């Protein structure tokens, strides 16, 4: 269910965010569902509770989950629509950034090379 690579360049807390986001996106975790507790996930993944906490705090700030101190963390009712709204903004942001980079002196080929590198690195994921 969870695959964390402690040697990856992407921080562990971000990997956890990505994994949970996918589980919500794919519907494995539905609105209202309780997430594993900070300690439980910490034990399961053999990762320090502080690192899990950081991920949960971030997800709560983004509204994807609702943390209730003393009770637990729950998938927000509007998590799916938040994810859709987020996705809709990705491509325009990408275009703006690409435009800025081209104006900043990078060539089309520079950007393509960067993308190719990322594509290869992310493949096994």
Q: Is 58 in the site for DNA (CB under 7 A)?
A: no
In whole angstroms, give the CA distance from residue 107 to residue 23.
37
**Which residues share a beta bridge with 68?**
72
C-alpha pair distances (Å), 43 with each of 9, 12, 37: 22, 15, 10
Instruction: Give 8 or 116: the residue with its C-beta nearer to DNA.
Output: 8
Among the listed ranges 21-29, 43-51, 94-102, 107-115, the one in contact with DNA (CB under 7 A) is 43-51
In residues, how long is the chain? 125
Residue 46 Cβ vs DNA, minimum distance, rounded to whole Å: 7
Give the footprint of DNA on this chain (CB under 7 A).
6, 11-14, 35, 37-40, 47-51, 53-54, 56-57, 60, 67-73, 88
């Amino acid at each position: 269910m969870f695959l964390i690579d402690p040697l990856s360049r992407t921080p562990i807390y971000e990997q956890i965010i990505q994994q949970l986001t996918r589980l919500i996106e794919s519907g494995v975790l539905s609105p209202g569902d309780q997430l594993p507790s900070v300690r439980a996930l910490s034990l399961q993944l053999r990762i320090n509770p502080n690192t899990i906490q950081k991920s949960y705090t971030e997800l709560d700030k983004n509204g994807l989950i609702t943390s209730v101190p003393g009770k637990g963390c729950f998938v927000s009712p509007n998590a799916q629509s938040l994810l859709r709204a987020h996705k809709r903004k990705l491509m325009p942001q990408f275009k703006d950034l690409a435009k800025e980079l081209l104006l900043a002196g990078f060539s089309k080929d520079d950007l393509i090379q960067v993308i190719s590198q990322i594509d290869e690195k992310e493949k096994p994921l």
